[in-house]
Amino acid sequence: PPIEAKPQPDAKQPRPEYEAQQKVRVRLRDGKERNIRHISVTTFWGPDGKPISAAEFLMLLFGQLPEFFKDEDELRALWSLPDTRKKLLEGLAEKGFGKDQLVEMQKIIDAENSDLFDVLAHVAFAMQPISRKERAASAHSEIHEHFSDKQQAFLDFVLAHYVQEGVDELEQEKLTKLLRLKYQDSIPDAVADLGGDIGAIRNLFFGFQRYLYQPSGGAAR
């Protein structure tokens, strides 16, 4: 059969407190395996509202993702802008794959320090997750090539929040909060430093995000 889930062989039975660290290999229809942690208590729910295993959730998600993006490049493009990223997450939630469940999936693929992008890329294309810290370091290099010193300082501040808190810090709704934190509640100081008007700052905040999600070692297009 094209889909199967099987525990990895283990020489001895693990102690109960380490049960969550057991690995389960799930073979999907692309013929590749994904490793997930074994969890004894399900936290996943199917589209019909019934509890399902993590492996079953993984299989269902794999089957739905082609409806949202056809390849890795399209996923990167969608995820690189706050508005299209939000629409993608809303679309997934409507299909029964809400953000809370994606965060749970993040844990069981050992990607808690990664981005939700990595969850989708791992499930869809078997890409190995990388940490937010690594993404930020790569983006930092690009930022210092493309932006002014004052813009760099603000974007480095944004990246620090992203590494600490996650992709939610890159939402459009977080921009004002980040500006107030960086500029001690003075939006006029932020405008003076970063480009002359709020629209330019918004474009800066949106535009730099593509550097977080470009392929490793590749230039953003």
Question: Tens digits of per-residue pLDDT, 193-207?
Answer: 887 788 999 999 999
pLDDT of residue 46: 80
Q: Please tell me whether residue 70 adopts helix, strand or coil conformation.
A: coil
Q: Is the pLDDT of residue 10 over 70?
A: no
76 falls within a domain: yes
List the one residue out of 192, 81, 211 whose CA is nearest residue 146: 211
Range of the domain at 22: 4-125
Which DSSP state fits 39? -
Distance CA 40, CA 19 (A): 8
Distance CA 93, CA 79 (A): 15
Distance CA 67, CA 64 (A): 6
Q: Give 39-42 contacts, CB < 8 A, sequence gap 24+.
A: 39/108
Neighbours of 121 (CB within 10 A): 24
Distance CA 145, CA 137 (A): 13
Clarify whether residues 142 and 202 are in a common domain. yes
pLDDT of residue 176: 94
Cα 61 to the center of its chain, rounded Å: 15
Q: Is the pLDDT of residue 13 over 90?
A: no
pLDDT of residue 36: 66
Mention every residue, 6+ apart, whose C-beta is less than 8 A from residue 208: 139, 143, 146, 147, 155, 158
Clarify whether residues 120 and 188 are in a common domain. no
Boundary of a domain, candidates 93, 125, 157: 125
Clarify whether residues 144 and 187 are in a common domain. yes
Mention every residue, 6+ apart, whose C-beta is less than 8 A from residue 157: 178, 181, 182
Tokens representing 155 are: 């974007």
Boundary of a domain, candidates 125, 160, 175: 125
> What average pLDDT score do residues 140-165 get?
94
Clarify whether residues 110 and 67 are in a common domain. yes
DSSP 132-193: HHHHHHHHHHHHHHHS-HHHHHHHHHHHHHHHHH-GGGGSGGGHHHHHHHHTTT-HHHHHHH
User: What is the pTM assigned to this prediction?
Assistant: 0.81
With contact defined as beta carbons under 8 Å apart, do 126 and 34 qualify?
A: yes
Question: Tens digits of per-residue pLDDT, 104-140?
Answer: 999 888 899 999 999 999 999 999 999 999 999 999 9
Q: How confident is the model at residue 80 (pLDDT cuts 50, 70, 90)?
A: very high
Boundary of a domain, candidates 125, 140, 159: 125
The number of distinct structural domains making up the chain is: 2
220 falls within a domain: no
Tokens representing 62 are: 């794999």
> What average pLDDT score do residues 78-82 get?
97
